[in-house]
Structure formats: structure tokens, C-alpha cells
């Protein structure tokens, strides 16, 4: 009898908790953007990104309601670059879950930029997007890094901050 697979988000939380990133992100940042105000994309800071995010990816011309992949990202402070974030990505993939390290920021122009690396050395994909909804939602495109056609096709993405306590 085939048992149901645990949700990708539950697996991501377990994996990330084992890495100690959850405690680091909680200790060094609030779970959500500033509650008293609604920052615009150009007002977002790295610490506004800290915490757990739900992820949906779908092909260009497709729909987020028919995702090609789902998962989660956990961001914390980047130890080497103040004003940036570093974290982990875990998402569903063909035949197995995919994991990667991620690092990036929101620039002065309000654009979200992220680099993805499966081995922590070579860049596999780049993410570019626009924050909205007081910094609780980011939409954009994930595409293979230059020269990395093995990183899969270009995909549209939606990142949504996970509710506090999840």
C-alpha cells in the first residue's frame, strides 16, 4: 500500500529546522514586515524578508493554479553581506524534491533578486521579481543562470510569506 507523501512544506520545515535556520531567522528578525506600516517595494529591507515563504512555480503561459513545482524558502540574515539574505529552498521536482541554497536582496529600486545554487558554489538559477502586498508577496521569474541549461526551463514564481507560527 502506498502511503501519502508528506507535504513539501512540512518536509521543508523539518529540513530547515534541522539546519538551525529557523531559530536564527526568528532570533534576528520579526516574523512579518513591520505591522504598523505598509512598506512599499522600495522601502523593504533585508530583515523584512527573513522568515518562511511558500513557493509556487509554473511555466510561462501557464497558471499558478496548475503549478509545475511547489515548496518553501526560509530566509535569514546573510553572514557576509549586511543588507542581504541567505537561506534554503526546498521544492518538488520530477521524481524527487530539489534543495538549494539561496542568497539575495531587494534593491533600492524595489526589485527582488535571488541567486540559487544546488551545491553552494555554482549559480544554477536567478530569480527576479517585484514585491507587493506590503512585502508579503513576491511575483517574478526564475530562469537558468547563464550557461546553465541543465537548471530547467524559465518559470514564473509566487512567494507568499507563511503565516506566523507555521
Contact 72, 90 (CB under 8 A): yes
Count the Cβ atoms, other than its own, within 10 Å of residue 78.
16
pLDDT at 147: 84
> Is-contact 123 138, C-beta < 8 A?
no
Q: Give, in order, the Cα–Cα distances in Å from 92 to each of 7, 47, 70.
A: 10, 27, 6
Give 75: exposed, middle or buried? Use CB within 10 Å, 0-12, 13-18, 19+: buried
pLDDT lower than 50: segments of the chain: 1-35
Pairwise CA distance, residues 19 & 134, whole Å: 29
pLDDT at 84 (0 to 100): 96
> Which pLDDT score is estimated for 165?
65
C-alpha closest to that of 113 among 123, 102, 128, 101: 128
* pTM recorded for the entire structure: 0.77
pLDDT at residue 36, as a whole number? 54
CATH annotation of 8-31+39-161: 2.40.128.120
**Buried-exposed string 84-98: b where 16+ CB fall within 10 A, e elsewhere:** bbbbbbbbbeeeeeb
Neighbours of 163 (CB within 10 A): 11
pLDDT at residue 4, as a whole number: 38
Give the Cα separation of 107 and 85 in Å (integer).
Answer: 12
Amino acid at each position: 500500500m502506498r502511503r501519502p507523501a508528506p507535504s513539501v512544506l512540512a518536509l521543508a520545515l523539518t529540513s530547515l529546522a534541522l539546519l538551525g535556520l529557523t531559530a536564527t531567522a526568528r532570533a534576528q528578525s520579526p516574523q512579518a514586515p513591520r505591522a504598523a506600516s505598509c512598506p512599499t517595494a522600495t522601502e523593504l529591507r533585508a530583515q523584512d524578508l527573513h522568515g518562511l515563504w511558500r513557493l509556487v512555480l509554473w511555466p510561462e503561459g501557464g497558471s499558478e493554479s496548475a503549478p509545475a513545482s511547489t515548496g518553501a524558502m526560509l530566509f535569514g540574515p546573510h553572514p557576509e553581506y549586511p543588507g542581504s539574505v541567505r537561506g534554503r529552498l526546498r521544492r518538488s521536482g520530477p521524481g524527487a524534491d530539489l534543495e538549494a541554497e539561496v542568497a539575495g536582496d531587494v534593491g533600492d529600486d524595489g526589485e527582488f533578486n535571488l541567486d540559487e545554487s544546488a551545491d553552494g558554489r555554482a549559480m544554477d538559477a536567478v530569480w527576479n521579481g517585484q514585491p507587493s502586498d506590503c512585502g508579503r508577496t513576491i511575483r517574478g521569474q526564475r530562469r537558468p543562470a547563464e550557461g546553465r541549461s541543465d537548471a530547467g526551463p524559465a518559470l514564473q514564481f509566487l512567494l507568499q510569506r507563511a503565516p506566523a507560527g507555521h
